[in-house]
Amino acid sequence: MNPAPSVIVFTVLSGMGFGFLALLGLFGVQGWLGFFFWGTGFGLAVAGLVASTFHLGNPQRALRAFTQWRTSWLSREGWAAVITLGLLAPQALSDWLGLGWGRGFGIAGAVGCGVTVVCTGMIYAQLKTVPRWHHWTTPAVFLAFALAGGLILSGVRGLAVIALCLLGVLMAVQWFGGAGRFARAGVTMESATGLGRIGRVAVFEQPHTGGNYLMREMIFTVGRRHAERVRMIAMVSGGLLPVVALVFVPGVAGIGLAAVTHLLGAFAHRWLFFAEAEHVVGLYYGRR
Amino acid sequence: MTCLPPHTDKKLGLVIDLDTCVGCHACVTACKGWNDQGYGAPLSDQTPYGVEASGTFLNRVHSYAVQPDDLPAQTINFPRSCLHCEDAPCVTVCPTGASYKRAEDGIVLVNEEACIGCGLCAWACPYGAREMDLAAGVMKKCTLCVDRIYNEELPEEDRQPACVRTCPTGARHFGDLGDPESAVSRLVAEREGYALMPEMGTKPVNRYLPPRSKDRPEEASLLAPLLDIKAAGLAGWLDRVLGKLP
């Protein structure tokens, strides 16, 4: 699949933002430090959501995306994000100004953060047409990234290291399981064309000499060429380096270093998530 | 609404005969021509006369070489367009309700006024039936020429999809696949028509008629005994000597 920058920025930033917001909702940070923390969380989440609209052909109609929550994970994601941000706003206000409104909004908002990230993952995991994504590891890895990113930003070193280890394991499971999932889905050129009843199918001639939307959007082979390298970058930068920074670099510098390297690793992971995923429509073109 | 109708009164769709399709692309051209001027945004082209020519089409004709185990390979032309699935994943993923399946005849359509151009429906379709129009920023797909088939301004024989009307070999058939007595349903039963990628669980309405089995070559030629050419002269001598070597 074509790794569109807008969608990569959306999933990475809003994932980290909602992870951070969930922790702030549960535990809270008071005063001006709280203002800064809450601002960072809201900033990341909203920046991601805004980035996602750059992906649209007609963004002026984006509000219509709130209508189909009964069937559409994309619509549910929109609702979950807006409701979550709405729930957390009074909590942020209370924490910043010390209004003492309890943690009710925060706890509800934290649940909302989890739901939002799962919805984001389900937009991709629901697609049977992309076997690599059609698996529980897709929302699980999105959640693990949100949790790890949130804990790093919160500066809770011990828990952040545990979350990063969990993330590393889940990424490995996602990659190892994803490798053969297209083949295991049992979709072939023979079943796509139904000509397997006659014999082995190969492309004799393509239907058009130029490219088209389908090929640009769903047949992206560059990602697979560099998959091993990008996997290594995602694992080292997203998981290993933040752990090293958190364990060995004291103070704010350690947290900052961990956050920056983790974010870079998250971008690498997400780029590969899209770039190496194969869509079944490629079978009609004899490519994946 | 992107909820699928639990039942459609009719199941309008196409039956495509892979035995008679000659791969002339007339259906592609007729489709592009008709859908450039009527229903919804016109199908645009980007730099049509440039180096990187590209455009929106609702129908594409592939050509495959199919190699049986014990027979020569066959070339099979394979038109690919929307299959108007009963369990259409492109409809349910749509966040805006732009993508919908009609309860009365089962046609899957896009309300372009509501389409935000997110592209998720095209990702959800296993068949590559949907293409985003880069000029209009909305998703385009086969409408089964909904503006022809019910159009009483047109003469009766023209009230069928443009691709079907234009096909010079009669390889494309249009009708109600929900009615077992319809001409298309009988054709499917007779020729063992099949659905594409049934493992995707989309329950396509369109059917493909497989190519008829070809004559076996050894049974085909009455000249077969005469074609067993015996080598003479030096070649004949070599043939005999080499044949004796272990």
B246 assigned to some structural domain: no
Output the average pLDDT for chain A.
Answer: 94
**B210 neighbourhood in chain A, CB within 8 Å:** 194-195, 197-198
What is residue A222's predicted lDDT score, i.e. its pLDDT? 81
What is residue B221's predicted lDDT score, i.e. its pLDDT? 65
Mean pLDDT of A72-87: 96
Same domain, A81 and A190: no
Best mutation target, B47, B51, B78, to test chain A (most A CBs within 10 A) = B78
- Count of domains observed in chain B: 1
pLDDT at B220 over 70: no
Same domain, A224 and A272: yes
B127 near A CB under 8 A: yes
Share of chain B above pLDDT 70, in %: 93
What is residue A203's predicted lDDT score, i.e. its pLDDT? 96
A78 assigned to some structural domain: yes
Mean pLDDT of B131-140: 95
What is residue B225's predicted lDDT score, i.e. its pLDDT? 65
pLDDT at B215 over 80: no
Angle, in degrees to the nearest 10, between helices A241-248 and A137-154: 20
Angle, in degrees to the nearest 10, between helices A5-27 and A73-97: 40
B245 assigned to some structural domain: no
pLDDT at B1 over 90: no
A176 assigned to some structural domain: yes
What is residue B224's predicted lDDT score, i.e. its pLDDT? 66
A110 assigned to some structural domain: yes
Same domain, A233 and A275: yes
Mean pLDDT of A228-256: 94
The single-letter DSSP state of residue A237 is I
Which of A126, A141, A171 terminates a domain? The answer is A126
Residue of chain A minimizing CA distance to B210:
A195
What is residue B6's predicted lDDT score, i.e. its pLDDT? 87
Same domain, A58 and A177: no
Separation CA B193–CA B164 (nearest Å):
17
Instruction: Select from A20, A7, A8 the least CA-distant residue to A149.
Output: A20
Name the pLDDT band for B228 (thresholds 50, 70, 90).
low
Which token pair is B12? 């309008």
What is the CATH classification number for the domain harbouring B17? 3.30.70.20
Q: Are B93 and A126 within 8 A, CB to CB? A: yes
A134 assigned to some structural domain: no
- Count of domains observed in chain A: 2
Q: For residue B196, what are the domain limits? A: 12-214
Is ipTM strictly over 0.90? Answer: yes
Separation CA A119–CA A11 (nearest Å):
11
Which of A111, A126, A141 terminates a domain? The answer is A126
Q: For residue A202, what are the domain limits? A: 157-288
- A200-222 pLDDT, tens digit per residue, is 999 999 999 888 999 999 998 88
Name the pLDDT band for A100 (thresholds 50, 70, 90).
confident
Separation CA A273–CA A267 (nearest Å):
10
- B169-195 pLDDT, tens digit per residue, is 999 999 999 999 999 999 999 999 999
A260 assigned to some structural domain: yes
pLDDT at A9 over 80: yes
Q: Are A187 and B200 within 8 A, CB to CB? A: yes
Most confident of A26-35, A133-142, B237-246: A133-142
Instruction: Select from B68, B62, B60, B65 the least CA-distant residue to B43.
Output: B60
Instruction: Select from B68, B82, B84 the least CA-distant residue to B211.
Output: B68
Pairs of CB atoms within 8 A across A/B: 201
SS (HEC) of A162-218: HHHHHHHHHHHHHHHHHHCHHHHCCCCHHHHHCHHHCCEEEEEECCCCCCCHHHHHH
Where is average pLDDT lowest: A142-151, B32-41, B53-62? B32-41
Q: Give the B window 86-115 contacts with A, CB below 8 Å.
A: 89, 91-98, 114-115
pLDDT at A78 over 90: yes
B166 assigned to some structural domain: yes
Name the pLDDT band for A168 (thresholds 50, 70, 90).
very high
A147 assigned to some structural domain: no
pLDDT at B222 over 90: no
What is residue B8's predicted lDDT score, i.e. its pLDDT? 87
- A268-288 pLDDT, tens digit per residue, is 999 999 999 999 999 999 987
Same domain, A9 and A117: yes
The single-letter DSSP state of residue B186 is H
Same domain, A121 and A195: no
pLDDT at A44 over 70: yes
pLDDT at B240 over 90: no
B177 assigned to some structural domain: yes
pLDDT at A186 over 80: yes
Mean pLDDT of A146-175: 96
